[in-house]
Amino acid sequence: MDVLKIMAIVGCGSGLIVIVELIRRGQLKERYALLWLFAGIILLVFSLSRDLLEYVASLVGIYYPPSLLFLLAFLFLMLITLHFSSVISELSEKNKQLAQELALLRQEMVEGMGRSMDKHVAKD
Amino acid sequence: MKILIIIPAYNEEASLPGVIQDLKEHIPAADVLVVNDGSIDDTAQIARKINVKVLDLPFNLGIGGAVQSGFLYAERNGYDIAVQFDGDGQHLAGEINKLIEPIVTKQADLVVGSRFLAIGRYRAPIFRKMGIAIFSFILSRILGITVTDSTSGFRAANRRVIEFFAHTYPDDYPEVEALVLLHKVGLRMTEVPVTMRERTGGRSSITPTRSAYYMTKVLMAIFIDLMKKVR
């Protein structure tokens, strides 16, 4: 076993352990964990089997097989960042709606109080 | 006709009382709504004291989110016309009737007050003028009508526009984009000439660098809006 292979396996393995542990503790929602798990598993499979890595690398015309690992890791990171951007957009829209709802409710309360005060005065 | 005047306000405690006084004199039948966009001064307290409606946002949403809150209020409380009016005193309350007229006569769904149709010349910094000219050119092509002042924040909207803006309104620099979105759903806009007061106090937040950033951002946003699915 060469050093690179060991490093790759240890890297992917510990990454996967951290991901699973975060899910178990409820600190990572499954929805966001799926991409990470998927990325970890694919990279682990390629690290374990040098033959598979070399085969796929030659298929797509990559001469130095480990760079396929880098390419995959890079693509996954891009995908995950894009996913985050879309999640953040959705969250900020919801955040805005919450702020607006809160302001509308506050004003409704003020107006409601004003009306019941008026009734009070009318009774007296 | 129920009319709501929406004043988006961010740190406007100094000018707000005068602006509201002006509105109550010129158009007493309308309700006034101040949207306090997370000001750090006493904008909200002052507005409550002078007895107008107040939407007090818990934090700063930016002009788009603030104005949209006003449209949401108008939608839920059954207003027929909503007027967007600046809190810094540059718009003239006496001209609101002019803005509302094309809506009452059903000639347009949204009416924008334009500084460049009026006889009195509006003096603006060269960068802003250039920017406005470029927007006008592009918007006129997209909308198929002449638009002279697409960044004007003095506007009146009818019920259909109120309902549309209540669920779809751009965030950062909304004035130009809003016109594109309205066009996409088939609502008609028109301009009427207005005069605007020169700034009395404070400094404009627009610098050359910021104008360039603003222009790039809005131009990109316009093309994204053209691609966007709007209902």
Q: What percent of chain B has pLDDT over 90?
A: 69
pLDDT digits (tens, 9 = 90+) for B102-145: 999 999 999 999 988 866 566 667 777 777 788 889 999 999 99
pLDDT at A121 over 70: no
The one-character DSSP state at B228 is S
- Rounded average pLDDT over B42-48: 93
> How many CB atoms within 10 Å of residue B167?
12
pLDDT digits (tens, 9 = 90+) for A89-110: 999 999 999 999 999 999 999 9
- Facing residue for A96 by CB, picked from B35, B53, B61: B61
Cross-chain Cβ contact A102/B72 below 8 Å: no
Q: What percent of chain A has pLDDT over 90?
A: 40
The label of the residue with tokens 């006496």 reads: B94
Confidence of residue A122 (pLDDT cuts 50, 70, 90): low
Q: How far is B56 from chain A (nearest CA, A)?
A: 5
- Rounded average pLDDT over A3-24: 87
- Cβ-defined contacts of A105-113 (< 8 Å, 24+): A106/B55, A106/B56, A107/B53, A107/B54, A107/B55, A107/B56, A107/B73, A110/B48, A110/B54, A111/B53
**What is the SS3 assignment for B110?**
strand
Spatial CA neighbour of B190 closest among B229, B156, B225, B227: B156
What is the DSSP annotation of B31-85? Answer: EEEEEE-S-SSSHHHHHHHTT-EEEE-SS---HHHHHHHHHHHHHHTT-SEEEE-
- Rounded average pLDDT over B187-210: 77
**What is the SS3 assignment for B192?**
strand
Residues of B in contact with A96 (CB under 8 A): 61, 65, 171
Spatial CA neighbour of B17 closest among B53, B43, B55, B40: B43
Whether B57 has its CB under 8 Å from any CB of chain A: the answer is: yes
End-to-end Cα separation, chain B, in angstroms: 27
In whole numbers, what is the pLDDT of chain B averaged over residues? 90
Residues of B in contact with A111 (CB under 8 A): 53
- Rounded average pLDDT over B50-66: 95
Question: What is the rounded CA–CA span in Å between residue B175 and residue B172?
Answer: 9
Spatial CA neighbour of A3 closest among A64, A60, A47: A47
Confidence of residue B205 (pLDDT cuts 50, 70, 90): low
Whether B228 has its CB under 8 Å from any CB of chain A: the answer is: no
The CA-atom distances, in angstroms, between B134 and each of A1, B145, B188 are 64, 15, 21
Q: Give the number of domains in chain A.
A: 1
What's the pLDDT score for residue B133?
A: 83
Q: What percent of chain B has pLDDT over 70?
A: 93
Phi, psi of B155 (to 5 degrees): -145, 155
- Is the CB of residue B182 less than 8 Å from the CB of residue B109? yes
Question: What is the rounded CA–CA span in Å between residue B215 and residue B127?
Answer: 10
Q: Which residues fall within 8 angstroms of residue B90, CB to CB, at 6 or more apart?
A: B196, B197, B198, B199
Spatial CA neighbour of B73 closest among B55, B61, B92, B89: B55
Q: How far is A96 from chain B (nearest CA, A)?
A: 7
Selected residue with higher pLDDT from A38 and A8: A38
CATH architecture of residue range(s) B3-227: Alpha-Beta Complex (3.90)
Q: What is the ipTM of this complex?
A: 0.88
- Residue A74 inside a domain? The answer is yes
Residues of B in contact with A99 (CB under 8 A): 57-59, 61, 65
Of A37-41, B6-10, B125-129, which range is least confident? Answer: B125-129
Question: What is the rounded CA–CA span in Å between residue B50 and residue B22?
Answer: 13
- Rounded average pLDDT over B64-84: 97
pLDDT digits (tens, 9 = 90+) for B149-167: 888 999 999 999 999 999 9
Torsion region of B89: left, alpha or beta (phi above 0 gives left; psi -120 to 50 gives alpha): left
What is the DSSP annotation of chain A? Answer: --HHHHHHHHHHHHHHHHHHHHHHTTSS-HHHHHHHHHHHHHHHHHHH-HHHHHHHHHHTT-SSTHHHHHHHHHHHHHHHHHHHHHHHHHHHHHHHHHHHHHHHHHHHHHHHHHHHHHHHHHH-
Rg (C-alpha) for chain B, rounded Å, is 17
Whether A34 has its CB under 8 Å from any CB of chain B: the answer is: no
Selected residue with higher pLDDT from A9 and B98: B98
What's the pLDDT score for residue B198?
A: 73
Residues of B in contact with A109 (CB under 8 A): none
Residue of A nearest to B76 (CA): A104
Where are the domains positioned within chain B?
Answer: 3-227
Specify which residues B33 forms β-bridges with. Answer: B6, B53
Q: How many contacts does A have with B, using Cβ atoms within 8 A? A: 38
Cross-chain Cβ contact A107/B53 below 8 Å: yes
Cross-chain Cβ contact A103/B55 below 8 Å: yes
Whether A58 has its CB under 8 Å from any CB of chain B: the answer is: no
What's the pLDDT score for residue A123?
A: 53
Burial class (CB in 10 A: 0-12, 13-18, 19+), B49: exposed
Domain that holds residue A46: 3-87
Whether A115 has its CB under 8 Å from any CB of chain B: the answer is: no
What's the pLDDT score for residue B208?
A: 75
- Rounded average pLDDT over A43-54: 87
What's the pLDDT score for residue B118?
A: 66
- Facing residue for A100 by CB, picked from B48, B69, B171: B69
Burial class (CB in 10 A: 0-12, 13-18, 19+), A10: exposed
What's the pLDDT score for residue B199?
A: 63
The CA-atom distances, in angstroms, between B121 and each of B94, B124, B195 are 18, 9, 8
Spatial CA neighbour of B193 closest among B149, B157, B139, B151: B149
Cross-chain Cβ contact A103/B57 below 8 Å: yes
